[in-house]
Amino acid sequence: MAEKITPQSEDFSRWYVDVVRHAGLADYSAVRGCMVIKPYGFAIWENIRDQLDKMIKETGHQNAYFPLFIPVSFFSREAEHVEGFAKEAAVVTHYRLRLNPDTGEIEPDPEAKLTEPLIVRPTSETIIWNTFKDWIHSWRDLPLKINQWANVVRWEMRPRLFLRTAEFLWQEGHTAHATAQEAMEEAKQMWHVYETLMRDFLAIAPYKGMKTPGERFAGAEETFTLEALMKDKKALQMGTSHFLGQNFAKAFEVMFTNKQGEREYVWATSWGVSTRLIGALIMSHGDDKGLKIPPRIAPVQVVIIPIFKSGSDEEKVLDVANSITERLRNAGIRVLLDDDNTKRPGWKYNEYELKGVPVRIALGPRDVENGVVEVARRDTLQKMQFSIDDLEEKVIELLDDIQQSMLVENERWHRENTIPVSSMNELKEVIEARKGFALAFWDGTPQDEEKLQEETGATIRCILPDDSEEGTCIVTGKKTRQKVLIALAY
RNA sequence: CGGGGCGUAGCGCAGUCCGGUUAGCGCGCCUGCCUUGGGAGCAGGAGGUCCCCGGUUCAAAUCCGGGCGCCCCGACCA
């Protein structure tokens, strides 16, 4: 049942939780920090996943699957990598339980202690590179381009549905290359693939940039990121692609013999996006009525709601409703006919608006008489009338238009909430007033960056690739071509 | 991991300060009637280890001690 949801302006966090729960995306579970993804939420994930999977395969990658458990000794091979993830690792120490004869309680059997503890993967670089070592011997084995769809565990102190949970679903790509240049191109390629997914399917137009050394993935030499601004004007990292250099190759001694017969370390990348994308989707498009899902990933693109007074109208209206449902379905549209007559039309309108279904078609006796239907689009809430005759065509056109408009609207949102600043004071004003991304010239040190975060609470989300103009760094006062985006972030 | 708040029916809450009928309200649920163009109405009904353990008392949702869980806010992270 759809209860009232908290308005965004009143309390954005509560709005978010209300929408996630009332729209049936996910629930809290019995396990702290872990969520249950419900069918409707999982259907969104499946659509995102299927699309991205296709794109990953089209760019020459193959899916595989690696173990959930990683020996601690593997994990500690790459120094920065351990440091980055140690604080949130779940550790498996026993392989059996027993009934304690004294207390009567179930406990890990002291006799069944693992000689080496395992951690539950927070990411799979180490186990994968340990494996790649056996797969790669010659330049002929390269490039090696592998992806896996998996769950990972990071024991988060402060969970939030979809955005930060102890366990989450994602895809992690891992590739090995003969040259640094090729690996760098791979990392950038997948960065672009993510951008395409976000723009063309999620209708989100994130900024593309590089992470500063302090914000890089643990073990990476360069991290490419996609940063979007949510409706509360906080930034969210939607995905990252890393150039790993030879760090993991060296840690796991992954070498190949090149065409000259010399042994060389390989060059690596890794890249991932997670169920966090669903969080981004909710917070990028949603309004006080609930979700807005872009047509291309909406589990239901069109909902059809028949309206009738019981009796003679019923059959007539349902006949037409059934026939247009079938026609739209045959046209490749994901359509749901809601002919449940225990719920009234008004209730359904609200329910499907909450669930973010892009298009609603209502038809009653009057419409049937006139050969039309009432069509309402979720993004603008605009209502119109379509003739039944060429309905397929019109609906396909409308779905395309909604997809496009949502992207345009999101681009506008980013543009309007990106504010150039030319001094620390201006930056503070922008951050304190919570105006979104501050755009600044930056040439500071990691220490300056730390100070920035202490003073404002905001972080450098990314360094923009565009270095076409020169300006003055807001901390050092030096001339620089490097521009950064600064914002409060999730 | 620090600060705050909350655990009473499926959900949201009142009752707790000041112990005392059969623990209550709204929503939801079930049955029936009626209704269907923006979250209908009426009637009847079901549903509770009052988070757990211990203590005080003639009597505990309420007081005392201990524990557990969750949410929110901060530091860390996809």
* CA–CA separation, A156 and A387 (whole Å): 53
B strand bases under 7 Å from protein CB: 1, 11, 27-29, 35-40, 69-78
Full DSSP string of A428-440: HHHHHTT-SEEEE
State in Å, rounded, how far the first CA of chain A is from the last one: 30
Q: What is the identity of the amino acid at A147?
A: N
CB–CB of A396/A358 below 8 Å?
A: no
Q: How far is the CA of A176 from the C1' of B71 (A)?
A: 44
> C1' nearest to CA of A308: which nucleotide?
B36
> C1' nearest to CA of A154: which nucleotide?
B77
ipTM: 0.86
* CA–CA separation, A399 and A201 (whole Å): 12
Q: How far is the CA of A318 from the C1' of B39 (A)?
A: 23
Listed residue (A228, A242, A277, A273) closest to A485, CA to CA: A228
* CA–CA separation, A151 and A168 (whole Å): 5
* CA–CA separation, A363 and A342 (whole Å): 17
- Residue-level pLDDT at A1: 36
CB–CB of A282/A333 below 8 Å?
A: no
> C1' nearest to CA of A225: which nucleotide?
B78
Closest CA-bearing residue to C1' of B27: A3
* CA–CA separation, A342 and A98 (whole Å): 51
- Residue-level pLDDT at A303: 98
pLDDT digits (tens, 9 = 90+) for A320-345: 999 999 999 999 999 999 999 889 99
Listed residue (A320, A76, A284) closest to A198, CA to CA: A284
- Residue-level pLDDT at A2: 40
- Residue-level pLDDT at A344: 93
> C1' nearest to CA of A122: which nucleotide?
B78
CB–CB of A430/A438 below 8 Å?
A: yes
pLDDT digits (tens, 9 = 90+) for A464-485: 999 999 999 999 999 999 999 9
Listed residue (A355, A354, A319) closest to A337, CA to CA: A319
Q: How far is the CA of A225 from the C1' of B27 (A)?
A: 44
CB–CB of A185/A179 below 8 Å?
A: no
> C1' nearest to CA of A17: which nucleotide?
B71
Q: How far is the CA of A10 from the C1' of B26 (A)?
A: 22
- Residue-level pLDDT at A3: 55
Q: What is the identity of the amino acid at A12?
A: F
* CA–CA separation, A463 and A207 (whole Å): 10
What does pLDDT average to in each consecutive run of 10 residues of chain A (490 residues)? 70 86 85 86 96 98 96 90 87 86 77 91 95 97 98 86 91 98 98 98 97 91 96 93 96 97 97 95 94 97 94 89 98 96 93 96 96 98 97 98 98 96 92 89 91 88 95 95 93
- Residue-level pLDDT at A120: 92
Set out the domains of chain A in order of their start, with CATH numbers: 12-66+138-285 (3.30.930.10), 302-398 (3.40.50.800), 418-487 (3.30.110.30)
> C1' nearest to CA of A364: which nucleotide?
B37
Q: How far is the CA of A22 from the C1' of B34 (A)?
A: 29
Q: C-alpha distances in angstroms, A450 versus A32, A153, A377, A435, A479?
A: 31, 27, 46, 21, 21
Which residue shows structure tokens 């965004």?
Answer: A8
- Residue-level pLDDT at A473: 95
Closest CA-bearing residue to C1' of B1: A157
pLDDT digits (tens, 9 = 90+) for A233-289: 999 999 999 999 999 999 999 999 999 999 999 999 999 999 999 999 999 999 999
- Residue-level pLDDT at A70: 94
CB–CB of A361/A321 below 8 Å?
A: no
